[in-house]
Structure 1
Amino acid sequence: MRMTALSAVLALSVTAAAQSQPAAQALLDQGKWQEAASAGAALNTSAGLTLAAEATTAGASLVPDNQKKALFQKAQDYASAAIAKDRSNADAYFELARAQGRLAQFVGVFQSLGLAKDVKANLDKALELNPKMAGGYVALGLWNATLDSGGLKGAIAVQATGASRSNVAPNFEKAISLEPNTPIHRIEYANALLLQGKKAEAAAQLDKAVAMPAVTFWEKRDLEQAKATLAKLR
């Protein structure tokens, strides 16, 4: 009887966690990033902490610039904690890379180059664990485009990291082949193309993106920004 009761308790615990993770995801989809981060972290699971990292990084886009760095650092902490709980969690490595990439914008040149190398290592690990992670290829495409964006600073970054604009298109094409109906992939591709001065090609990607449906708060926001960018390119 004792083992049966224990089994029942464990079953109830698993069910509760399964219900809580979707609830946290629903909060994030609604744009309630602070509540989503708290709910995800409260689960104290690798998946929950990964969601907390994602929510915190997303939320940083909505706050004043002087608050962003602390949020990216918090997101980095959440993702690192998620990895500590499950080193096979590809999404956790991806969120760590994303937080580090955003954080690099708010630190000195040498520290940012160090973070850039960490970003690449974590993206490579995420894709090693999940070769079909479209977002990972998008991030790699942006990584190469941002670091090899021309000028003296770009030349230094290329030498330090090995980034190359020749790797931009292949990564984005891979992501789009995996998830052809995800607008953010094309929006980010357009951003990468704009870094290379390819306005016509960027506009073509944005044209395809804005024709796609948006469901979540973040998708709707991305599409509104894409429409604004497209209008400026016309």
Structure 2
Amino acid sequence: MRQLILTALLAVSTVSLADSLKEANTLLDKGDWQAATAMGTALNTSDGFAVAAKATTLGASVSAEAAKRGLLEKAQGYANQAVKLNDENASAYFELARADGRLAQFVGILQSLPLARDIKAALQKAISLDPKMDEGYAALGLWNAELVAKGGFVAFSYGADASQVTANFEKAVAIAPTTIAHRLEYANSLLKLDSTKNKAAALAQLKKAVTLAPVTYWDRQDLAAAQKKLNDLQ
């Protein structure tokens, strides 16, 4: 009887955790990243901290400039805790790479380069754990574009390759063809490599992006950015 009671309590606890995680993701989808962060950290699980990291990173993108760095550093901390609690959690590694990557874009080239290898390693680990992680491939495509755009020596030193930009983004859009962010970042990455040579290909991705239906608050942000970029290029 005692064993049956313990099993039942564990089942209830598991359902409660799953429901809370789902609620945190729902809040994030609506744009309430602060509440999603609070709920994610309160769960004190790897998945919870991964959601908190994602929410805080996305929150930084819509926050005042002065607050961005602090938020991204918090996101790094949440992602590291997610990895610590479960080193087989693909989302934890991806969110660590995402937080590092956004911080690298924010702090400038001299401070961002030391993060480059960590970002790539985290993305490769995430993809190895979940080979169908479309976000991982998109981020790896962007990573290669960022490093190649910084110059030949930098690209060589960190193992970045222009051919891997298209290769990884094509994998991402094949897995998730209706994700607006992938099309937007694909276009941005192509333009980083060669804004003249790749303009037509970038336009094609943007034209596809603006036909896609946004599902979340963040999708709507990406759709607006894609439309603006398309208008600027045409």
Tell me the TM-score normalized by structure 2.
0.94
Q: Does 1:34 align with 2:31?
A: no
Q: How far off its partner does 1:161 sit?
A: 0.7
Q: Which residue of 2 aligns with 1:132?
A: 132
Q: Which residue of 1 aligns with 2:105?
A: 105
The CA deviation string for residues 75-96 of structure 1, in whole angstroms up to 9 with x for no partner, is 1111111111111101110110
Matched, 1:182 2:179: yes
- Secondary structure, counterpart of 1:148 in structure 2: helix
CA apart distance, 1:9? 1.8
5+ residue gaps, structure 1? none
Shift of 1:159: 3.1
CA-CA distance at 1:156 after TM superposition: 3.7
Residue number among 166, 171, 176 corresponding to 2:168 in the alignment: 171
Displacement of 1:110: 4.3
CA distance in 2, matches of 1:134, 1:127: 9
Match of 1:19 in 2: 19
Q: Percent identity?
A: 52
Asked if 1:70 is matched to 2:70, the reply is: yes
Equivalence for 1:155: 152
Q: 1:223 aligns to what?
A: 223
- Distance in 2 of aligned mates of 1:211 and 1:106: 30
Secondary structure of 2:202's counterpart equals: helix
Name the counterpart of 1:202: 202
Q: Does 1:192 align with 2:184?
A: no
Map 1:46-125 → 2, pairs under 5 A: 46-107=46-107, 109-125=109-125
CA distance, structure 2, for counterparts of residue 45 and residue 145 of structure 1: 33
Q: Distance in 2 between matches of 1:188 and 1:226?
A: 9
More displaced stretch, 136-145 vs 175-184: 175-184
Q: CA deviation at 1:136?
A: 0.7
Shift of 1:109: 3.9
Alpha-carbon distance in 2 for matches of 1:163, 1:107: 20
CA distance, structure 2, for counterparts of residue 62 and residue 181 of structure 1:
23
Task: Provide the C-alpha distance between the structure 1 equivalents of 2:217 and 2:50, rounded to a whole number of angstroms.
Answer: 19
The 8 Å contact of residues 113 and 160 in structure 1, kept in 2 or not, is answered as no
Measured at CA, do residues 193 and 50 of structure 1 come closer, stay the same or move farther in structure 2, by a change above 3 Å? same
| 26 and 201 in structure 1: CA distance in 2 versus 1, 3 angstrom threshold | same
Secondary structure of 2:31's counterpart equals coil
Report the more deviating stretch, 193-202 or 35-44: 193-202
Alignment root-mean-square deviation, CA: 1.3
The structural deviation recorded for 1:140 is 0.7
The match for 2:144 is 144
AA paired with 2:223? L
Cα distance in 1 between the residues matched to 2:46 and 2:135: 19
Residue aligning to 2:8: 8
Letter in 1 for 2:11: A
Count of residue correspondences: 231
Moved over 6 A (4+): none
